[in-house]
Amino acid sequence: MDLKDKLISSFMAFESNVDIDHPVHDVRVEAMKNFEMKGFPNKKQEAWKYTSLNSLQKVNFSIFPKEVNALEYKDVKKYFLHEMDTYKIVFVDGIYSSFLSETTHDGVDICLMSSALTKPMYKPVIDVYFNKVASNDESLTTLNTAFSREGAYIYIPKNKMPKKPVEIVHFATGNEASLMLQPRNLIVVEENAELQIIERHQSLTSNEVLTNCVTEIYAAENAIVDYYKVQNDTASSSLIDNTYINQKNKSVVKVHTFSFGGKLTRNNLNFYQNGEHIDSTMKGVTILGEKQHVDHHTLVHHIEPNCESHQDYKGIYGENSTGVFNGKIIVDKIAQKTNAFQQNNNILVSDKATINTKPQLEIFADDVKCSHGCTIGQLDEEALFYLQSRGIPKKEARALLMYAFANNVLESVRIPELKTRINKLIANKLGVSLGFDL
Amino acid sequence: MLKINNLHAGVEGNEILNGINLEVNAGEVHAIMGPNGSGKSTLAAVIAGKEEFEVTEGTVVLDGEDLEDSAPEERAHKGIFLSFQYPVEIPGVTVTNFMKTAINESRKAKGLEDMPANQMLKLIREKSELLGINRKFLSRSLNEGFSGGEKKRNEIFQMAMLEPKLAILDETDSGLDIDALRIVANGVNKLRSKDNAVIVITHYQRLLEYIVPDYVHVLHEGKIVKSGSKELAFELEEKGYDWIKNEAVV
C-alpha cells in the first residue's frame, strides 16, 4: 500500500478519536476529499519540478505512534535555546509532552492546538482563524488540515507581548521504524502585540521521519512577529513546512529559515498582505552537504498599496547537495507604491552540487519598485589567497569567506542567544571554530 | 634571509619568471623596478606562495628553508608578508576581526595561546595610530568601499600588526596621493629594523624617495637584467626603461 492509500484508510481511524461534531471536523473532511482527489504533488507540476516525493511515498510510515514516549530533559537539552528562558511547546512523536513544555495563560495563550480545538473558550478564535489563510488547494496542506489535531496554539491579545520567546520543538524518538508527523500550528497576534518564535524539528535516531507541518500566522494592525525556523535535523528526516501568513495594516513579520540538516526539506512560505504599510521579510541561510536537498518556495502577494517585502536567501552547497529557490511575487493592480525586493545568492563549493533558482514576478500595478537578483558562484580564489597570505589556513579562510557571505542574514536576528547559536551551527557545519562571532 | 636561485615560474605553461636570482639580507631594502609585464607582481606572488603560479625550476629559500612545499599561510607564519597591489574586498568581516583571526592563527601555528583581548586592542590602537587610521575604520568590512589610498594604508596597518620578517610591497604607491604616500612610507620606515627586510616593487622612483633602498634591481622579461644602488632608480626615472631593454638585448 502506498502512502496515499495508507493515509486515506488511516483517516477513518483518526475520526474515531476526534469530535466529529465539532465544526472543524467538517473542514477536515473537506480537506481529506481534496487530498484524495489530488494526491501527492509530482514533478510534472511546475512547483515541484526539482523536488521529488516519490521515494518518501514508498516508505511504510506509521501515521499514529503506538505509545507515548518520555524523554529526559537532560538528553534533549541541547536542542533547546537553553542559554535563555523561553516558553516551550514540546511534542514527542507528535504527542504533547507536558513534562518538557512550559506553557502559559497569563495574559496570553501559549498552549496546545488539541485544547484549542476542543475547549469552548477557544472556539471564537478557532471560528475566525482556523484554516482561513492556509490553502485549500495545495494537496499537502489539505492533507495536514485533514489530520489536524495537535500542534502549537498561540494567541497574543491586543497590546501584549509575552515575557520571553516561544520555542516549538518536535522530537521523534525513533520508537517507530518510520514515522509521519503532521503538526498544525495556529498563531494569532492581535493589534500592537508582539511575538518571537523559534521552531525546530528534531529526530533523535536514524529512523526515518517525515513531517508535514502547517503553520497559520495572523498579524493584526501594528503587530510584530519574528519567526525563526531552525532546520538542522538528521540525515534520515524529511520536512515539508507550509507556512501561511496573513498581515494587516502596518504589521511587521519576519521569517528566518536556517537550513543546515535533514534529507529533504521543502519550505512553502506564503505571505498575504491584506492591508497597507505592511512589511514582510523572508531571510534564509542554507548550508548543505552530502545527499541533502532543500527547496525554498516563497510567495508574497501584495494585495494592497504602500507595502514592502524583502527577501534575502543565501545558499552554500557542498558535496552532491541540491538546492532550489523559487521566489514568487504577485503585485495586484491596486497595490501601487509597492516595494518588493528579492535576492538569492549561492555558492557552490563542490562540482557535484546543484542549485536551481528562479524569480517569478507577476506585477499588475504600474507604480511599483520591484527588484530581484540571483547569483551562483564559487569562492573567490583571490580572496582565499589574500586571507591565506595573512596566515589564515585555507580551511579557515574558506569558512571565513562563507561566514562573511551568510553574515547579513544573521544581522536581523533579534535574539542574541539565538544568533550566537546559529553562528555556532554554521561554524560546526563548515567544520571550523572561529575565534569570533560575526 | 631570502635566497632566490634560478627561479622559473609561470601559469599554464607560459613562463613568466625566467631564472631570477636574488639575495636579500636582514636589515636591507631592495627595490624591484621594471616595465609593465616584466614579472614584478608574479615574483611577489610566487614568494608569497600563490598556487596559481607553477614553479618549474629553481628555489625560494627563507632562512635556509626551501619554501617549495609551503602553503601561503605557512609562509606567512614564517614571516613573509605581501602587501597586495589590489587588496581584496571581504564584505562581512571587519578589519578588527580579520586582524584578530590572522594574529591568532599565526600564534596557533607557533604553538602559542590566543592573544588576550586587551593586549590585542592595545596593539590595534598603537598600530592604527602609527598609520593615522581612524578608529571607525577598524569596524568597517575589510577593504569594502575603501578608497585606493585607504586600502594601501590598511595593507601597511596589517603589516604593522603582523610584524613580518620579510615584507614585499607590491606597487604600494599606486593610487596614493602625495600625503598618503608619505604616511605609508613613514609607517614602513618605522617598522624597519636590522632584523627584517623589505622588497619594494614599484614602477616609479617616487616611493623610493621615502623608502630609500639599499639595492635596486631591474626586471625585464622575467629576469633581473640590472642591479645597482639607489642611483639606478634615478637613472631609470630619467631615461625610462628602453635603454635597459636595449642593453639586455646586447
Q: Quick: pLDDT tens for B173-222.
A: 888 888 888 888 998 998 899 999 999 999 888 889 999 999 999 999 99
Domain with B98 in it:
2-249
Question: d(Cα A352, Cα B226) in Å, to the nearest integer?
Answer: 50
Q: What is the least distance, in Å, from the CA of A49 to any CA of chain B? A: 34
Structural domains of chain B, count: 1
Residue A312: φ, ψ to 5° = -145, 105
Q: Which of B172, B96, B176, B193 is nearest to B136 (CA)?
A: B96
Chain B positions in Cβ-Cβ contact with residue A392 (cut-off 8 Å): 73, 101-102, 105
Query: In the predicted model, is pLDDT for residue A433 greater than 70?
Result: no
Please answer yes or no on whether B98 and A407 come within 8 Å at the CB atom: no
User: Which residues of chain B carry a pLDDT beneath 50?
Assistant: none
Q: pLDDT by residue (tens digit) across A115-153?
A: 999 999 999 999 999 999 999 999 999 999 999 999 999
Q: Which residue has the cell 598618503?
A: B180
Query: In the predicted model, is pLDDT for residue A59 greater than 90?
Result: yes
C-alpha separations of A400 from A130, A379, B92 in Å: 45, 11, 9
Note whether A434 contacts B: Cβ–Cβ < 8 A. Answer: yes
Q: State which residue of chain B sits closest to A437, comparing Cα positions.
A: B97
Instruction: Report the pLDDT value the prediction gives residue B250, as an integer from 0 to 100.
Output: 52
* Closest by Cβ to B102, choosing from A392, A401, A408: A392
Query: In the predicted model, is pLDDT for residue A424 greater than 80?
Result: yes
Question: d(Cα B233, Cα B200) in Å, to the nearest integer?
Answer: 12
Q: Residue B164's domain is classified under what CATH number?
A: 3.40.50.300
Question: d(Cα A368, Cα A364) in Å, to the nearest integer?
Answer: 9
Question: d(Cα B237, Cα B234) in Å, to the nearest integer?
Answer: 5
| Segments in B13-144 forming alpha helices (H) | 40-48, 72-77, 95-109, 117-130, 135-138
Write the single-letter amino acid at A61. Answer: F
Note whether B49 contacts A: Cβ–Cβ < 8 A. Answer: yes
Chain pair A-B, CB pairs under 8 angstroms: 84
Instruction: Report the pLDDT value the prediction gives residue A45, as an integer from 0 to 100.
Output: 93
Please answer yes or no on whether B75 and A389 come within 8 Å at the CB atom: yes
Instruction: Report the pLDDT value the prediction gives residue B236, as an integer from 0 to 100.
Output: 84
Write the single-letter amino acid at A407. Answer: N
Q: What is the least distance, in Å, from the CA of A380 to any CA of chain B? A: 10
Query: In the predicted model, is pLDDT for residue A438 greater than 50?
Result: no
Which residues make beta-bridge pairs with B55? B9
User: In chain A, what is the straight-line distance between the N-terminal and C-terminal CA atoms, in Å?
Assistant: 50
In this structure, are residues A244 and A270 in contact, taking their beta carbons and an 8 Å threshold?
Answer: yes
Chain A positions in Cβ-Cβ contact with residue B76 (cut-off 8 Å): 388-391
Question: d(Cα A230, Cα A422) in Å, to the nearest integer?
Answer: 8
Question: d(Cα A82, Cα A200) in Å, to the nearest integer?
Answer: 14
Chain B positions in Cβ-Cβ contact with residue A385 (cut-off 8 Å): 48, 50-52, 72
Q: What is the least distance, in Å, from the CA of B204 to any CA of chain A? A: 25
Note whether B146 contacts A: Cβ–Cβ < 8 A. Answer: no
Please answer yes or no on whether B51 and A385 come within 8 Å at the CB atom: yes
DSSP B167-216: EEEESTTTT--HHHHHHHHHHHHHH--TT-EEEEE-SSSGGGGTS--SEE
Q: What is the least distance, in Å, from the CA of A415 to any CA of chain B? A: 20
pTM of the model: 0.85
DSSP class of residue A290 equals: T
Q: What is the least distance, in Å, from the CA of A413 to any CA of chain B? A: 15
In this structure, are residues B173 and B52 in contact, taking their beta carbons and an 8 Å threshold?
Answer: no
Instruction: Report the pLDDT value the prediction gives residue B249, as an integer from 0 to 100.
Output: 58
Note whether A393 contacts B: Cβ–Cβ < 8 A. Answer: yes
Count of Cβ atoms closer than 10 Å to residue A138 Cβ = 21
Average pLDDT of span A224-242: 96
Positive or negative torsion for Cα A419, A425, A427, A430: negative
Note whether B40 contacts A: Cβ–Cβ < 8 A. Answer: no
Query: In the predicted model, is pLDDT for residue A347 greater than 70?
Result: yes
Q: State which residue of chain A sits closest to B113, comparing Cα positions.
A: A435
- Record the cell numbers describing residue A405, joined without a space: 557571505
In this structure, are residues A269 and A263 in contact, taking their beta carbons and an 8 Å threshold?
Answer: no
Which residues make beta-bridge pairs with B5? B59
Q: Which of residues 407-426 of A touch B (CB under 8 A)?
A: 407-408
DSSP class of residue A315 equals: E
Question: d(Cα A351, Cα A348) in Å, to the nearest integer?
Answer: 7
Instruction: Report the pLDDT value the prediction gives residue A435, as an integer from 0 to 100.
Output: 56
Query: In the predicted model, is pLDDT for residue A437 greater than 70?
Result: no
Please answer yes or no on whether A383 and B90 come within 8 Å at the CB atom: yes
Mean pLDDT (chain A, rounded): 94
Chain B positions in Cβ-Cβ contact with residue A403 (cut-off 8 Å): 92-93
Instruction: Report the pLDDT value the prediction gives residue B248, as an integer from 0 to 100.
Output: 62
Mapped onto helix, strand or coil, the DSSP state of residue A258 is strand
Q: pLDDT by residue (tens digit) across A77-103?
A: 999 999 999 999 999 999 999 999 999
Q: pLDDT by residue (tens digit) across A14-38?
A: 999 888 999 999 999 999 999 999 9
Which residues make beta-bridge pairs with B200? B31, B169
- Record the cell numbers describing residue A396, joined without a space: 579557515
